[in-house]
């Protein structure tokens, strides 16, 4: 799963803590720093170049100088501007914020569902961007007769090679139902029921894998394509064609919410 760093700039220390607490529920978000005024916030952004900036634009402490003008200052120094997420209690500034090209506008008090929508919005944009980039490379750089061949290469399934002392074991990622941590190694369970051990930590697999693999517990990464049922009351996911029930923890509950949302955005009927 791709990681996104963020900085919080807000004159209210309590508000900073609330934003940070909610963001900590998303494993893909990594806190870098916080600031309570314009100048300190600017220095932190220029030094750290975060993916996101949570920005208050209508501060209670006017001496903090926080406003949408902060975004203009970033344009003076950075070729790539972090995605700005405005966090404020006033609805009336939304139109002005849009003119500054902010990524999102969230009203205080910030709620978990607000940030979930923001992260899903980012995932959707990145997916669309990657698709456009692939199409552009194919159409501009490739003769028409070669387009079909290149498309096949792009769609080639991911193969994971488990290497140990000269033994190379090749696994089709689409056949993996879930990963389970086992101290400093990881057990990989296939849809056939077979298990293969890899001498890498679960954290290593989390860092190199993306959709449809998602971490739902300190000990488990699951392929959401193999989920047959999610039971919130018991905090477990059921695996297709298997009696296996995989627990999910409070720490990764937001990832389970993402899975539920992903199912709902497909060809889907809820009864």
Of 114, 59, 128, residue with least CA distance to 85: 114
Give the pairing type, strands 4-9 and 29-35: parallel
Average pLDDT over residues 10-25: 94
Q: Determine the Cα–Cα distance for residues 234 and 255; give it in Å rounded to an integer.
A: 16
Average pLDDT over residues 180-190: 93
In the numeric block, the tokens 């190199």 are attached to 208
Neighbour tally for 188: CB within 10 Å: 24
pLDDT in tens, 72-129: 899 888 888 999 999 999 888 888 888 888 999 999 999 999 999 888 888 777 665 5
Q: Determine the Cα–Cα distance for residues 162 and 48; give it in Å rounded to an integer.
A: 35
Give the pairing type, strands 185-190 and 195-198: antiparallel
Give the lowest-confidence range in 41-45, 49-53, 92-96, 244-248. Answer: 92-96
- Mean pLDDT of all residues belonging to the chain: 86
Give the pairing type, strands 159-164 and 195-198: unpaired
Per cent of the chain over pLDDT 70 is 88
Q: Determine the Cα–Cα distance for residues 184 and 104; give it in Å rounded to an integer.
A: 40
In the numeric block, the tokens 């849809």 are attached to 191
pLDDT in tens, 210-258: 888 999 999 999 999 999 999 988 999 999 988 889 999 988 888 888 8
In the numeric block, the tokens 């080639």 are attached to 156
- Domain spans, the chain: 4-119, 159-264
CATH number at 4-119: 3.40.50.2300
Neighbour tally for 120: CB within 10 Å: 15
pLDDT at site 12: 95
Give the pairing type, strands 185-190 and 176-182: antiparallel
pTM for the complete prediction? 0.52
CATH number at 159-264: 2.40.50.1020
- Kindly calculate the radius of gyration of the chain based on its CA atoms and give it in whole angstroms: 22
Element (H, E) at 238: strand 236-239
Tokens of 138: 């194919």
Element (H, E) at 253: helix 253-264
């Amino acid at each position: 799963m791709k990681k996104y760093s963020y900085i919080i700039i807000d004159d209210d220390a309590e508000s900073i803590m609330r934003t940070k607490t909610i963001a900590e529920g998303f494993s893909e978000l990594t806190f870098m720093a916080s600031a309570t005024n314009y100048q300190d916030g600017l220095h932190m952004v220029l030094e750290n170049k975060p993916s996101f900036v949570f920005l208050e634009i209508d501060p209670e402490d006017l001496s903090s100088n926080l406003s949408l003008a902060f975004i203009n200052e970033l344009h003076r120094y950075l070729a790539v501007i972090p995605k700005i997420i405005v966090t404020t209690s006033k609805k009336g500034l939304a139109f002005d914020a849009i003119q500054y090209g902010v990524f999102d506008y969230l009203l205080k008090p910030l709620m978990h569902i607000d940030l979930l929508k923001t992260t899903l919005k980012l995932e959707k944009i990145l997916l669309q961007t990657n698709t456009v980039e692939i199409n552009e490379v194919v159409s501009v750089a490739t003769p028409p007769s070669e387009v079909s061949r290149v498309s096949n290469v792009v769609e080639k399934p991911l193969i994971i090679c488990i290497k140990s002392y000269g033994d190379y074991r090749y696994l089709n990622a689409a056949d993996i139902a879930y990963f389970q941590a086992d101290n400093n190694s990881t057990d990989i369970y296939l849809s056939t029921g077979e298990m293969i051990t890899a001498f890498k930590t679960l954290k290593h697999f989390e860092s190199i894998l993306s959709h449809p693999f998602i971490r739902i517990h300190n000990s488990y990464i699951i392929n959401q394509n193999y989920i047959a049922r999610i039971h919130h009351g018991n905090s477990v996911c059921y695996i297709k064609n298997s009696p296996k029930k995989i627990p999910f923890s409070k720490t990764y509950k937001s990832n389970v919410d993402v899975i539920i949302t992903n199912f709902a955005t497909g060809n889907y009927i809820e009864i």
